[in-house]
Chain A
Amino acid sequence: MSEREERVELTVDGETIAGRAGQSIAGVLLAAGRTHWRSTAAGGRPRGLFCGIGVCFDCIVTVNGVRDVRACQRRAHDGDVVLVQGPQDEGRAGEEP
């Protein structure tokens, strides 16, 4: 089977989402009908894809424990554990991890 046809499965905040090998994490999320994932630090506003080419950082997610990964740039791998980032991850409120 060529890479084009392979399937990958990610968990996003615990939910399993299937995609195609070669897709970006944002591509997998969008194809699954999710238009937004992150929420902003101050206003808790929903954000998802904006520039699509790694410039705006609106799409960042935590992948396998590493934060601030641009979902539009990172290729999805089978078994990736994705967490969406929200105000609690941004240190604004002075909270400890």
Chain B
Amino acid sequence: MPVLSLRKISKNFGAIKALTDVDLELEPGEVLGLMGDNGAGKSTLVKIIAGNFPPTSGELVLQDRPMHFHRPAEAREAGIEVVYQDLALCDNLSAAANIFLGREIARSIWPLKFLVSKDMTDKAGALFGELKSETRPHDLVRRMSGGQRQAVAISRTMLSEAKIVLMDEPTAAISVRQVAEVLDLIRRLKDRGIAIVLISHRMPDVFAVCDRVAVLRRGRKVAEKPIVQSSPEEVTGLITGAIQHA
């Protein structure tokens, strides 16, 4: 049974048709590569799944239950976590503070909630350990490399029992060496049975970690197939329109 099914999802921004009748299914523990040129509608699709805004039409079904998210918090409660393109981290806070941002472990002494820093630091350390990342809980995000920032953003998704993690261009703007780190992080999430949607422009990354690939072109899904039955050449053709359908 798929964890997530999208049925005939469309999204218009005024006159712009960002998405048209997109169907998509996601199985548990599967990594789906979502590819397409700039403006193809990838981020829009991710934002709909994440509850940033509702689709103009179409249905979003999570484990047999139709969902209507109005806020990102609702999607998160349903088990959908997002690693945003710009990572959405606070540079001035520590790694642990970022992981627990908005859901701090706290002891309530009315009217205040006191942070239980030790528990958060320990848990953050355990998550980094699990990801085999060298990131340290106390380090300020401002001082981190791109790969370490990714580890922080990804650890955040592991805090809750997420079923689905959406990653928008996690390997854009980081070095080759750090890309390998991030791909490892993705494999570890997959091992935990989490379904992942990976948006990437980088063909090698998609072919390294994805089980299936879906291609969007001008808001329409033009292909969806197992990665082993495709090739970088075919996907490139689908993205540019040289190949119409697959």
- The answer to whether A and B belong to the same complex is no
Chain A residues close to B by CB (< 8 Å) = none
Give B contacts to A, CB under 8 Å.
none
